[in-house]
Amino acid sequence: MTKNTKAVYTLNSAMKIWLILALIVTWLPFVFNLPVVLHFLIVSIIVCQSFVFYKKIVLAAWIRFVFILSVLIVAGLFSLLHYSVEGVISFSLLAVFFKIFEIKSKKDIYVLLMSLLFVNSTACILNQSLFYSVWLIVNMSILLSVFVAIEHHQAMSFHKIIGFTVKQMLICIPLMLIVFLMFPRINAFWSMPGLSDQATTGLSDSLSPGSIANLAQSNAAAFRVTFTDKNKKPISLQQQPKLSDLYWRAMTLDYFDGKTWSQNDQFSEIKWQKPKVEMADSRYYQIIMQPSFQRLMLILDRLSTNIKQSTLMQDQTVLANVEFEKIKKYDVVSSRQFFDQVVITDLQLELLTQLPDSINPKTYQFSQTLMQDSQSVIDYIQKVLDHFKTNQFYYTLSPPTLNTKNQIDEFLFESKEGFCSHYASAFTVLMRMQNIPSRIVGGYLGGEYNDLGGFWQINQKQAHAWVEVYINGTWIRIDPTASVALTRIEQGMDSMFEANGLVEIIARSSWMSAFQKRMDAMNYAWQNKVLNYSANKQSKLVQNVGSWWNQNFKQVLLSILIISVLIFIGWALRMPISYLFLPLHTKWVKKLDKRLGQVKPNQSMEDKLILFVKANPNKKEQAEAFLTIYLSWRFAVNSNIQITQLKQKFKQLIST
């Protein structure tokens, strides 16, 4: 409809500010995720263009050439190193930002803004937390403000434009929600490049306790759990499990080379077998995983119902079929009793008692003497645990490194300081030296219960290692760390250490932890309700709405009918507000009729007054005074006549 004039388009100062602002806000969400080289380039683009705008310099052709060359080089490096979504995003970000050098018409601004809208939305691949998503939405409203500013920056001030856009965005929320809830959820058309694995967090697939001098403490959430009853209804605080029962299994480590525990590849997938009876101690829970970039799934004890899109391994751990690249939810039913009566083959027996040859002689000596004193295997285990308890072993997150070939000897008889991995490792070695099948289990212990959201949050720092021992056809869980640091098991990680440093003290203060709890609860709701809204939930919602509709459609239709009739009447009459004083009018008419001694319906106030004046000629002035005020009170939309004034006039008229 509008014709673009080919005249040279000059940006005014307001639009320059708007455009630079648009670039900066679009760039900011990427700051934490993309490589430094990219940020260097983007900042130089923005600075360069600011100079062009404010110093009115013309950018030399060679500078643009250098820019484009550097982008090509960066893009080339990315595609050579790894084909990941960060590479794609970086490249498109730069390509879009270059458009700022080419603003020659209004159309160019629109193309730039539209591309920025798209690039801004791609940031949600990198992070989907509530905070980040809200940030992207705020950015979107700033970009949309620029659309308003292009045409109307002269009539509206900066903050007015932003305020206007935000208001319109808020008005659109209901419509957006309807479309969001009802849009059919389709499976992916083709696979997209995923995130590069530099972001990997979580559990490592090997354990070398001797080489770690300081265990990093990360407060990042690993996953969140809601315990439910059989019918997926959340359970109350009293029914929540005990902290010391929450051993979240992720993987087992069964091969030891003297330094490092790792997974033996021969342990493979097993077929899922449906349990014959449902166990009385079954636990039902939903887990929302944070992106871990691993396939490990966390479960308590043993599965008693299969999980979709996952594989059950021989060691009773579960692997998802694809890595957790984004927040994902799964339901688990598990039972403690399933550890009973497991048969292991000879090959497995051999693997589960594997030890490197001829190292740790002192430990071997120690285990032999201990075994000779013991009546049974159980007794032996108890004696080992007692040894940890009574011989001044310490739990610490910064143990001395173990440098000799015989690391277990060094730990047991010299340093005696370590964290869960040290104790699990030493304990397993002591078991295997007496040919007791055993393995280290890696996972998380405990969690923090959030009473606002009714869920457990398990952070990375709650990572833990413990041991499983095979006795009399049953796997038994033993946590050697408990012998050394019982509080770690019963009260969680934080209780182990004194708060030191200002940050820690603040972080553990009550209002801070209350705030943290609130934030966690909001994030949990966001992940649970929004990020995990799927085709499944959609069909459930439609069903619920449908059944509600079937039950209530008569009432709904009736109320819609009544409301629309009321609206129509209101619209058709379009009465002035004063019309609401209709009773007063009726009262006056009745009084006048009484005076005149005749009742004529459907007569206007004017007609009545004419008759009245005819009957009482001396009242002509009062009648006129009353009528003028009456008419403007009743029919003028913006009348500011007081009702008392009118009443007074009527009294004067009617008085004899």
CB 251 within 8 A of CB 203: yes
Segment lying near other proteins (by CB under 8 A), choices 180-188, 245-253, 329-337, 572-580: 180-188
Taking the least distance from each CB to other proteins, the nearer of 88 and 377 is 88
> Distance (Å, rounded) from C-alpha 626 to C-alpha 650?
6
Is 572 a residue that touches other proteins (CB under 8 A)?
no
Is 533 a residue that touches other proteins (CB under 8 A)?
yes
Is 568 a residue that touches other proteins (CB under 8 A)?
no
- Which x/- pattern, by CB under 8 A, does the window 188-227 give for other proteins? xxxxx-----------------------------------
Task: Give the burial class of 50: count Cβ atoms within 10 A of its Cβ; 0-12 exposed, 13-18 middle, 19 or more buried.
Answer: middle
Q: How far is the CB of 527 from other proteins (least distance, A)?
A: 10
Is 150 a residue that touches other proteins (CB under 8 A)?
yes
Residues in binding contact with other proteins, number by CB under 8 A: 49
| Backbone φ and ψ of 224, nearest 5° | -130, 145
Return the residue of 140, 203, 592, 609 that touches other proteins, per CB under 8 A: 140
Taking the least distance from each CB to other proteins, the nearer of 502 and 637 is 637
CA dihedral 621, 622, 623, 627 (to 10 degrees): 110
C-alpha distances in angstroms, 468 versus 126, 437, 442, 447? 38, 9, 11, 21
Question: How many CB atoms are closer than 10 A to CB 592?
Answer: 18
CB 229 within 8 A of CB 284: yes
Is 148 a residue that touches other proteins (CB under 8 A)?
yes
Is 151 a residue that touches other proteins (CB under 8 A)?
yes
Return the residue of 179, 349, 557, 631 that touches other proteins, per CB under 8 A: 179
6 by DSSP, 3-state: which? coil
Return the residue of 14, 166, 169, 522 that touches other proteins, per CB under 8 A: 169
Pairing of strands 394-395, 417-418: parallel
Is 102 a residue that touches other proteins (CB under 8 A)?
no
Is 365 a residue that touches other proteins (CB under 8 A)?
no
Segment lying near other proteins (by CB under 8 A), choices 22-30, 119-127, 380-388, 394-402: 119-127
Q: How far is the CB of 107 from other proteins (least distance, A)?
A: 9
CB 440 within 8 A of CB 475: no
Is 329 a residue that touches other proteins (CB under 8 A)?
no
Is 525 a residue that touches other proteins (CB under 8 A)?
no
> Distance (Å, rounded) from C-alpha 435 to C-alpha 363?
14
Q: How far is the CB of 150 from other proteins (least distance, A)?
A: 7
DSSP state of 493: S
Return the residue of 26, 49, 128, 457 that touches other proteins, per CB under 8 A: 128
Pairing of strands 438-445, 448-450: unpaired
3-state helix, strand, coil in the chain (%, to 5): 55, 15, 30
Return the residue of 7, 60, 61, 186 that touches other proteins, per CB under 8 A: 186
CB 251 within 8 A of CB 317: yes
Which residues contribute to the site for other proteins (CB under 8 A)? 1-2, 110-111, 114, 117-118, 120-122, 124-125, 128, 133, 136-137, 140, 144, 147-148, 150-152, 154-156, 164-165, 168-169, 171-172, 175-176, 179-180, 183, 186-192, 326, 530-533
